[in-house]
Amino acid sequence: MPGAGPHHPAPLAAALLSALAILASTAQAETSSAAEAEAARIKEVDAVRVIGHPEDPQSSTGSAYVLTPRELDKFERGNVNNVLRSVPGVYTREETGEGVFPRISIRASSSGRSDRISVLEDGVPAAMAPYANTSAYYFPNIGRMNSVEVLKGPEILLHGPHTTSGVVNLLSTPIPEDAAGSLKAEIASFDTRRLHAHYGATAGQWGFLLETYQSDGDGFHQIDRSDLGAGHDIDEYVGKLRWSSAPGATYSQQIDLKLAYGEETARVSYLGLTDADFREDPDRRYGLSELERMDRGRKSASLQHQIGFSESTWLTTTAYLVDTYRYYDRLNQINGIGLGGVTGIVNTGGTDADLVQGILDGTADTTHANGVRYGHNHQAFESRGLKVELEHAFATGNVQHTLIAGTRYHEDTTRNADKGRSNSYYQQVNGDLVYQGTDLVTPQRGDAEAWSAWVADRIQLGDWSLLPIVRHERIRTRANLATDATPAQIAARRANSIDKTTAGFGANYAVNAEWTLLAGVHQGFAPPGNGSAQGTRGEESTNVEGGVRYRNGRFGMDAIGFLTDYKNAMRTCLVANPCSGGVVDGSEQTGAKEVHGLELGLFAELYSTGAISVPLRLAYTWTDGEYTRDSDTGSVLDGDVIEYTPRQIGQVQLGVEGGGGWNAYAALSYSDGAYTSNTAGRAGVDDTYLRTESLFTVDLAATYPLSPTAEVYARIDNVLDERSITHRGADGARGNAPRGYAVGLRLDF
């Protein structure tokens, strides 16, 4: 079928039907939910949330999911891809096997690096440059997060700038109401060590939090003829300070200051394996990739002020400044062959296939003048902004209103970091890299300036909840602005101006206390980046969703169908995601596409006594679609398949929780294979090397209390040691991580 990759639906469908039957027969009514208990336990600042009332999902007019601290603690994962598999409608794809470059797609939004979703940390845009460079070469560290929100539907127009698919908001550790701290220490496979510690307190009008996250490891890849590891090294520090007005003050106020600093080294590679080499050893890395390394870091500050003029009127102002750098030394050419075409020559038996295989193996010397070429992609990004939002509640007769009006000014600056290098050249001789020389860098600089404004009205009319909403974006971008640019760069300077107004409408109808119907429609938009030419419109879509929610104490269900019509689909051009002709800068219009599907989320307590309970969670997504219009360049044709969109994905979590505080959980995850190129479904095209493979994994985790303030936990990832090709790019087959073990200690004080 169009838009589908290879898949094996029968086992998953049978499992889902069985789970539904069990849930239907065991659902029991209760007066409170785990989410309500969690919300009561932890104080969180409302203004950083994207879901207004997480303890009451029925209040949202769109598809909304919250992963609470309790859910994150079950498996203590450090890979955001693994975490988000438990959310319907979210596709994750492993590139490195360790989540270094998250590729997150919501409702088939993009095949790139999370570049068509809005990623937030505490409500602040987290991308390196949300308007100028949208790709997520930086992603907030899930290991130090307190909870995660995923929002789809019309309400995402309150956030932006990417509103074609959804919002992922990561909530960091909150300031505690009383003096409290926590320490987590973990050792794991591949010589991995992880430490997460924080301490904070609130006394009178003041509160604070100090936090650090440390992680390092060798990684599971083994580099040929090298003693260098293929792992990571992460150091992060966060500080928070809060002031609140005294009880009885004329106006209730709160000021929150957050400072963060982090550095990371990831010894990752853009070069994968030939299919034959992947089959023989999926943990292998070719020796000529041993110098690949990415260093990235971030300094950020945000200051938020909230003032309540009355119980019904609140004004929130947030200022933020984010400085991110990314220094990436990476392969971009092997023996005159640009990255993206190397392993394909071997796979298909192309010209000089034996020589290329020998160079990859280290048994043949390079023969091209460039030998092995490394690019030094050393960039720095600065984002700053000011957001002001007013919320006012009032009534007109029997109709309750909550008016939300806001505006945000945002600036992005992108530039070459001051490293002075462009490309370095080596010859491979007897399996070793012999340095030849280095080119100087060509200066580059770009910027973006954006004003956005939005207004919405949450209307409560009897059993109806309605949300009309309008958003406007005014964006100005420029590229190649360096004062010492070459004449060719000056001639290629690009500027673009976009004024875009979008609108949406969401509705809930409460059939009774348990059943809620929901529906929504909104226009989506995503900026094209600062490399776009004048007249580039950005990505545009019409998004429709509708479904039903059920809540009855220990049992809940969300079943939501969606249809997204991408009228002007875009692709961000990267080395890891090249556009037609191998272009790796700017963006490309890729015609139009339609995507439709079904999202199913379930939770239940299958069994409960005073001593033992058996919780279950299920997330399932079915998706189909195809391109519906040719692209301007002809690289995409009407009827082409949509790349990297598996037909089915799903996860079932089953646990056993003891009254004494011990627990054990199993997570069963499945993903269909998918096509990696839109050309794969065309008549006469051999798709052997244009698809990923289906993958089924089982993870286990358990916790045992040592005392009221201490507990140990253990985890086994990929218990069955299943290995599959999950990604093809920038060059070659890439896969998921092998079986891994972890043991940790949690201390609360």
Q: Residue 659 — very low, low, confident or very high, per pLDDT cuts 50/70/90?
A: confident
How far apart CA 77 and CA 85 sit, in angstroms, is 12
CA distances from 348 to 364, 368, 549, 686 (A): 20, 21, 50, 10
408-423 per-position pLDDT tens digit: 999 999 988 665 788 9
Q: Residue 8 — very low, low, confident or very high, per pLDDT cuts 50/70/90?
A: very low
Residue 544 has pLDDT above 80, yes or no: yes
Residue 217 has pLDDT above 60, yes or no: yes
pLDDT of residue 61: 82
- Residues 6 or more apart whose CB falls under 8 angstroms from that of 121 comprise 140, 169, 170, 171, 172
Find the range with the poorest average confidence among 39-43, 144-148, 340-344, 351-355: 39-43
Q: What is the DSSP string of 258-275?
A: EEEEEEEEE---SB-B-H
Please state the rounded mean pLDDT for residues 272-277. Answer: 98
Kindly state the DSSP code that residue 289 receives in the 8-state scheme.
G
pLDDT of residue 575: 62
pLDDT of residue 471: 98
Q: Residue 662 — very low, low, confident or very high, per pLDDT cuts 50/70/90?
A: very high
Task: Report which of residues 40 and 483 the model is more confident about.
Answer: 483
Q: Residue 444 — very low, low, confident or very high, per pLDDT cuts 50/70/90?
A: confident
74 within 8 A of 34, measured Cβ to Cβ: no
Residue 121 has pLDDT above 90, yes or no: yes
Q: How many CB atoms lie within 10 A of CB 565?
A: 17
Helix H or strand E segment including 382: strand 372-396
Residue 295 has pLDDT above 70, yes or no: yes
How far apart CA 577 and CA 730 sit, in angstroms, is 7
* Domains in the chain: boundaries: 9-743
Torsion sign, CA atoms 277, 278, 279, 282 = positive
682-710 per-position pLDDT tens digit: 999 999 999 999 999 999 999 999 999 99
Q: Residue 15 — very low, low, confident or very high, per pLDDT cuts 50/70/90?
A: very low
Residue 38 has pLDDT above 70, yes or no: no
709-718 per-position pLDDT tens digit: 999 999 999 9
- Residue 646 identity: P
Residue 405 has pLDDT above 50, yes or no: yes
Find the range with the poorest average confidence among 22-31, 89-98, 167-176, 203-212: 22-31
479-520 per-position pLDDT tens digit: 877 656 566 666 667 889 999 999 999 999 999 989 999 999
Find the range with the poorest average confidence among 130-139, 466-475, 574-583, 684-693: 574-583
pTM of the model: 0.89
Rg (CA), the chain: 25
Helix (H, G, I), strand (E, B) or coil at 280: helix
Q: Residue 52 — very low, low, confident or very high, per pLDDT cuts 50/70/90?
A: low
Structure tokens at 320: 């933020």
pLDDT of residue 4: 40
Q: What is the DSSP string of 72-94?
A: HHHHT---HHHHHTTSTTEEEE-
CA 205 remoteness from chain centre:
36
133 within 8 A of 126, measured Cβ to Cβ: no
pLDDT of residue 6: 40
Residue 42 has pLDDT above 60, yes or no: no
69-110 per-position pLDDT tens digit: 999 999 999 999 999 999 999 999 988 899 888 889 999 887
Residues recorded for the chain: 749
pLDDT of residue 44: 37
Smallest CA-to-CA distance from 475 within 131, 170, 212, 187 is with: 131
Structure tokens at 46: 């409302």
- Residues 6 or more apart whose CB falls under 8 angstroms from that of 7 comprise 646, 647, 648, 672, 673, 694
Please state the rounded mean pLDDT for residues 144-159. Answer: 95
Q: CATH for 9-743?
A: 2.40.170.20
Residue 732 has pLDDT above 60, yes or no: yes
547 within 8 A of 561, measured Cβ to Cβ: yes
Residue 604 has pLDDT above 50, yes or no: yes
Q: Residue 30 — very low, low, confident or very high, per pLDDT cuts 50/70/90?
A: very low
298-350 per-position pLDDT tens digit: 999 999 999 999 999 999 999 999 999 999 999 999 999 999 999 999 999 99
* Residue the block writes with tokens 């209040």: 59
pLDDT of residue 53: 58
pLDDT of residue 41: 31
Residue 40 has pLDDT above 60, yes or no: no
Residue 45 has pLDDT above 90, yes or no: no
